[in-house]
Amino acid sequence: MGTSGRRGRPRDEEADARILDAAGDLLLERGYDRMSVDEAATRAGVAKTTLYRRWPTKDHLIVAVVARIQDAVPVAYSGDVRADLTAYLNAITDGLNRMRQVARPATAGDMSAGLVAEVAAAAARHADVGAAVQAMFTRRNALVVTLLEQARLHGELRAETDPEVLFDQLAGALYYRLLVTGRPIDAAYVDRLVTGALDGATS
Amino acid sequence: MGTSGRRGRPRDEEADARILDAAGDLLLERGYDRMSVDEAATRAGVAKTTLYRRWPTKDHLIVAVVARIQDAVPVAYSGDVRADLTAYLNAITDGLNRMRQVARPATAGDMSAGLVAEVAAAAARHADVGAAVQAMFTRRNALVVTLLEQARLHGELRAETDPEVLFDQLAGALYYRLLVTGRPIDAAYVDRLVTGALDGATS
Amino acid sequence: MGTSGRRGRPRDEEADARILDAAGDLLLERGYDRMSVDEAATRAGVAKTTLYRRWPTKDHLIVAVVARIQDAVPVAYSGDVRADLTAYLNAITDGLNRMRQVARPATAGDMSAGLVAEVAAAAARHADVGAAVQAMFTRRNALVVTLLEQARLHGELRAETDPEVLFDQLAGALYYRLLVTGRPIDAAYVDRLVTGALDGATS
Amino acid sequence: MGTSGRRGRPRDEEADARILDAAGDLLLERGYDRMSVDEAATRAGVAKTTLYRRWPTKDHLIVAVVARIQDAVPVAYSGDVRADLTAYLNAITDGLNRMRQVARPATAGDMSAGLVAEVAAAAARHADVGAAVQAMFTRRNALVVTLLEQARLHGELRAETDPEVLFDQLAGALYYRLLVTGRPIDAAYVDRLVTGALDGATS
DNA sequence: CGTTAACCGAGACGGTACGTCTGGTCTTTAA
DNA sequence: TTAAAGACCAGACGTACCGTCTCGGTTAACG
């Protein structure tokens, strides 16, 4: 008992990073389909067993990769919701656009949902991956929802405003364009979006 | 001398339908991963070559299947945007929820993006599939965007309203919940959504 | 209505030749496996149906091709068996060596049985092809066996000589080298062969 | 330290035997064409990959099968070449006749070259298979050529006798009948053959 | 200091689907 | 009736890749 007393050879912690790096590179180079776990292991200088001991499935692996890529966007209420939201959504947009080139030989003017779509599909296939993805997004989004709540209490937003729904509208529009309609996303669109959402449609 | 006069044995048009039916059934029974092109062909009573002559890839096939499933939601402006939008979004919601059970042994209370995610991934993998998917959605959505435009001209919506953005907000929220956060979608949520979008956040 | 009176479109007699030419070329370029009936038809400017109406099987077709390639070696007894045999075997040898390059990217010093082996295999697979091949060879060989018989009656060969066996020994040695051991065949070998067969091993 | 220290999971040596057994049985049951690599693997209780790791092609596989069937015919010079040769050729004849039934629904009185022809064709198609076949026969035949050489030195054969050519004549005649003319081979023919080859045709 | 437990690299293995190819047949329209 | 064109059926081929397993060998903590 005592402290715990892990027995046996300890895991090579560096290996985790090397594997995620290699897998990430391959993902960016070739996309989900055209990359293989085998090659990721080889490129990381690691045996396949070592990789599978950590992530039991290709889907689990790539979700881990994406989770690591997800940059922590700093969120804090400044007293100006519009500015805060615009900054946040632009950060997200940058991230999404970076993942767009992936998985297809980036033909000019040709947009793809790339990695994001693969993550969504992986989540749809394995319940535990789905849970992980949702947890990841919930964590990320909670901060913004809180920010919206603060703005509401502060009087910047109407009292009836539903922060969760408002956030869904904003983030949703971005992902919808990315995953479904394939239309471009940029700062100009973010502006139209924030304006539309904050001002509302009816008077 | 007339149009032309196709030569050679004409394609069996019935086969198309039989294949799509079989593939659709399999997709619903087993999901993308666990179904095979081979079995779809067999079940349709068709040789694999016949199938591959029409859809060069499993991904192409399933997109065709989904395109056919897409039910034509009738859209017409009644003079009451809120009602029209609510009806439309509820129809979409029903369709999405039907596709949710797919691709995972529907554990109770466990939501999945199912087929929709697979289609998004297929679109991300093949440029031509992506184009087809986008065309499909563009066609479907154009009607609603037109409806919103009519409502704006009619004075139901503010003059500054951006119909495209407004639609992205609405549809986007649904797909975002489906594909990313995995949260449930139902009539109650649709209400909150329409209210939030129409009323706006800032007074 | 008389005896018959062929009705309908008459067969294109030229087509036979064009098909055999095309098939022969392909056979020489690529070999049995790597050539397809489809391509032969295309290259002959003929529909597959037309080809199959004439030769019901790929194997039948190539046997027809080979039969046509088989050059008629003139055989007549001159009074000098050794000379006659040597001439005949050299002609055969030339033919075999011509068929050797076939079916493999003629690496230097690398001998192959090429077409001959494929014909043998085709004969082994279909009884009727086998019969055709045997008939072809029987016809060709009968002349030489007759020649040997004449030489025997003429006193050039011993009375006990068995012409059939003698011929088997000579032709057999060539084909054995071609099909089995892959060793080279040339005029020098033909000389050794004729000498060995005529002179015998014991006293 | 010694030679090395194999790494990785060792090959299942038993699998080789099981595969060759299964493939051999199928070959005998159905013949080359009508048997499939897939079924051989299944019947051997082995994954197709395992089979293809060992033999990269159906042709490679069947040559391996035949090589194993090839029974080691014991050869030793007894002082009586005629007897030795007769015994040896009869053994070969038995082997060839056993392989004759293969690959065609043995119609009575209908002879086929069966497996032997397929092996010859396989050798013609792949350079490496050809090399293997030739090596196999070279090994087998070397003993007999040596025996003939001994008989020559012993005075049983004329000093001018060319052992290699003599052997080609004998074995060649058998294979010629098998592969080309399709005529029967039996003990009586072997006798005529040995007599003809040893006694010679001229005086 | 030896035992033991967990790790590591390498690579074979089972399973399974993919997409391709080809042999031969069938169905059209035109000659 | 034959021709050309091309779709169709059937089924094998060889490849790819996932995730598991089996080796020999290493690296700790425990007794």
DSSP three-state, residue A3: coil
CB C92 within 8 A of CB C171: yes
pLDDT category of residue A5 using cuts at 50, 70 and 90: low
Among A36-40, A105-109, C33-37, C125-129, name the one with the lowest average pLDDT: A105-109
Contacts of B138 in chain A (CB under 8 A): 181
CB D183 within 8 A of CB D100: no
CB D153 within 8 A of CB D94: no
Higher pLDDT, B20 or C28: B20
Q: How many angstroms separate the CA of residue D66 from the nearest CA in chain C?
A: 13
Contacts of B140 in chain A (CB under 8 A): none
- Asked if C136 reaches chain D (Cβ–Cβ under 8 Å), the answer is no
- The matching CATH number, chosen from 3.30.1490.20, 3.30.450.190, 3.40.50.2300, 1.10.357.10, for C71-199 is 1.10.357.10
Instruction: Delimit the domains of chain D by residue range.
Output: 13-68, 72-199
pLDDT category of residue A71 using cuts at 50, 70 and 90: low
CB A169 within 8 A of CB A85: no
Interface of D with C in 15-74 (CB under 8 A): 31-33
Confidence (pLDDT) at B175: 93
Contacts of B97 in chain A (CB under 8 A): none
- Asked if B197 reaches chain A (Cβ–Cβ under 8 Å), the answer is yes
Cα separations in angstroms, B143 against A181, B131, C55, D26: 15, 19, 60, 63
Q: What pTM did the predictor assign?
A: 0.78
DSSP three-state, residue B52: helix
CATH of domain C13-67: 1.10.10.60
Name the fold adopted by A70-199: Tetracycline Repressor; domain 2 (1.10.357)
Confidence (pLDDT) at D111: 44
Confidence (pLDDT) at B108: 38
> Is domain D13-68 classified as CATH 2.40.160.20?
no
The one-letter amino acid at D4: S
CATH of domain B72-199: 1.10.357.10
**Residuewise pLDDT in 10s, chain D (203 residues):** 334 456 888 899 999 999 999 999 998 888 787 889 999 999 999 999 999 999 998 989 988 988 887 766 778 888 888 899 999 999 888 888 877 765 444 443 444 557 788 888 888 777 788 888 888 888 888 888 999 888 888 888 888 888 999 999 999 999 999 888 888 899 999 999 998 888 765 65
For residues A131 and B112, give the distance between their C-alpha atoms in angstroms, rounded to a whole number.
Answer: 10
Of D107, D123, D203, which has the smallest distance from its Cβ to C127's Cβ? D107
CB B23 within 8 A of CB B61: yes
Q: Which residue has the tokens 């779509």?
A: A117
CATH superfamily of the domain spanning A13-64: Homeodomain-like (1.10.10.60)
Query: Is B196 close to A113, i.e. CB distance below 8 A?
Result: no
Question: Is residue A23 pLDDT above 80, yes or no?
Answer: yes
